[in-house]
Structure 1
Amino acid sequence: MVKLHHYPLCPHSRFARLALGELGQEVELVEERPWERRDAFLALDPAGQTPVLVTDDGLVVPGAGVIAEWLDETLGAAAAERRLMPSDPAARVEVRRLTGWFLGKFWDEVTGYLVNEKIYKRFVPRANGGGPPDMASIRAARANVRYHLRYVGFLVQRRNFLAGDTLTYADLAAAAHISCVDYLGDAPWGEDEAARTWYARVKSRPSFRALLADKVPGMAPADSYADLDF
């Protein structure tokens, strides 16, 4: 069984967990607190960032994007209708574009601020950058998430899912990041009804159940977080 070194409220880890779940892969979850920079974890990936997947034969696959590509290369053809990357080259470009949007741009403008300020800094000593959250960063994230949700709404009003007719890595990347915003109570669900409806569909999938059970010590999720009819 493969092992996934992850942190429950790391959105990139959540993306990897969703992808593994959608492909029906059993996985052993190893919780990693990346701010602790454990020597054993750094030996797997010197970048010290979650997620990191380790296969049965010891291959180390670091990072959400690399894990997604590895899964498609090794399991995609056999997944048939469950495949998360289309076979058409142009469609693959769109999936990669949107997956990169959420793993990169959304992280830089929304989840990176919220997760770091509201969660990670609670566990990091002040000398290493921990302490109270920076409210200016949180306000920036709350403002930025609004236009991202409008973009999600724009896409799904024209397509069945974000990148086309079927569920792909793009939907999982978006939902993984938005789920962290939702957990923290910073998702403005009144902003765009189409985006909310799309998220409810993805949130209702079996692969999402384990994420909805996640808890951060000392920080309960928002009331709507595990509610499928939010």
Structure 2
Amino acid sequence: MAKLYHFPLSPFCRKVRLCLAEKRIECELVEERYWEQDPDFLRRNPAAKVPVLRLDGKTMAESGAICEYLEEVYPDPPLMPRTPDDRYEVRRLVAWFDDKFHHEVTSKLLYERVNKKVMGLGYPDSKNVKAGAQKIKYHLDYMAWLLDQRRWLAGDAMSLADFAAAAHLSTLDYIRDVDWNRHAVVKDWYAKIKSRPAFRSILADQIPGFPQPAHYADLDF
């Protein structure tokens, strides 16, 4: 059985979890307090980052590389389209969420509100929280623009781009930082994503000290 060393509210871990579940790869989840830099964990990944996946006798790090590996070795169901142009668009949007969205929103909201407390690093920086709350509006607007033209974020079929976006937004939804009423098309997209069987374990996550909001696991909001 595969084994994934993860932190429940890490969007990068959630992206890998979604890929594994969508491809029906049975996986044991091992919660890892990566910031404590346990020697055993550092042997698995000297970068001291999650996720780390143990699969097929290999130990793999970096969520992007893991997801690409899963797509190549376990191609069904596909999470990448067939043509180079379409694959480019998926990769562009994965990078958008894992880089730009993460830097401007996730790190400003989730990391300030949750990670600092869990890691014992003090109180949230109100300037960062305010900046993240402002920036998420822009990103939701961009998603709405994409979804006004497409069935899914990158095209007519669900892809890794949707999982990358949902991974970040689901962590923020857990802490009530997503205004789902801003754009109906984005809310409908997320409802489709979180109703998939692959999302079940993510909707079951419980973080001590941070109770789920009432709507979090509700498939109809």
Superposition TM-score tier, normalisation by shorter sequence: over 0.9
Cα offsets for 1:174-212 (capped at 9, x unmatched)? 001000110000101121111111111101111011101
- What's the offset of the Cα at 1:56? 3.5
Cα offsets for 1:96-122 (capped at 9, x unmatched)? 000111111111111112222111111
- What's the offset of the Cα at 1:8? 0.4
The 3-state SS of whatever aligns with 2:74 is helix
- What's the offset of the Cα at 1:49? 1.0
For 2:217 and 2:118, the matched residues in 1 are separated by: 25
The 3-state SS of whatever aligns with 2:198 is helix
1:107 corresponds in structure 2 to 102
For 1:180 and 1:139, the matched residues in 2 are separated by: 17
Tell me if the contact between 1:61 and 1:67 (Cα under 8 Å) persists in the aligned partners. Answer: yes
1:92 corresponds in structure 2 to 87
The 3-state SS of whatever aligns with 2:41 is helix
1:185 corresponds in structure 2 to 176
> Which amino acid counterpart does residue 61 of structure 1 have in structure 2?
M
Q: Does 1:151 align with 2:146?
A: no
TM-score, normalization: structure 1?
A: 0.93
Tell me if the contact between 1:200 and 1:228 (Cα under 8 Å) persists in the aligned partners. Answer: yes
Identical-residue share of aligned pairs (%) = 45
For 1:98 and 1:123, the matched residues in 2 are separated by: 30
> Which amino acid counterpart does residue 67 of structure 1 have in structure 2?
I
Tell me if the contact between 1:10 and 1:115 (Cα under 8 Å) persists in the aligned partners. Answer: no
Q: Does 1:215 align with 2:206?
A: yes
Root-mean-square deviation over aligned CA pairs: 1.0
For 2:69 and 2:141, the matched residues in 1 are separated by: 31
For 1:171 and 1:124, the matched residues in 2 are separated by: 29
- What's the offset of the Cα at 1:124? 2.4
For 1:50 and 1:44, the matched residues in 2 are separated by: 10
Tell me if the contact between 1:212 and 1:225 (Cα under 8 Å) persists in the aligned partners. Answer: yes
1:120 corresponds in structure 2 to 115
Q: Which runs of 5+ in 1 are unaligned?
A: none
1:35 corresponds in structure 2 to 35
Tell me if the contact between 1:162 and 1:171 (Cα under 8 Å) persists in the aligned partners. Answer: yes
The 3-state SS of whatever aligns with 2:97 is helix
Cα offsets for 1:140-189 (capped at 9, x unmatched)? 11111111111111111111111111110000000010001100001011
1:17 corresponds in structure 2 to 17
Q: Which runs of 5+ in 2 are unaligned?
A: none
Q: Does 1:64 align with 2:90?
A: no
How many equivalent pairs are there? 221
> Which amino acid counterpart does residue 84 of structure 1 have in structure 2?
L
The 3-state SS of whatever aligns with 1:228 is coil
1:5 corresponds in structure 2 to 5
The 3-state SS of whatever aligns with 1:172 is helix
Cα offsets for 1:57-81 (capped at 9, x unmatched)? 1x121111011111111111xx1xx
TM-score, normalization: structure 2?
A: 0.97
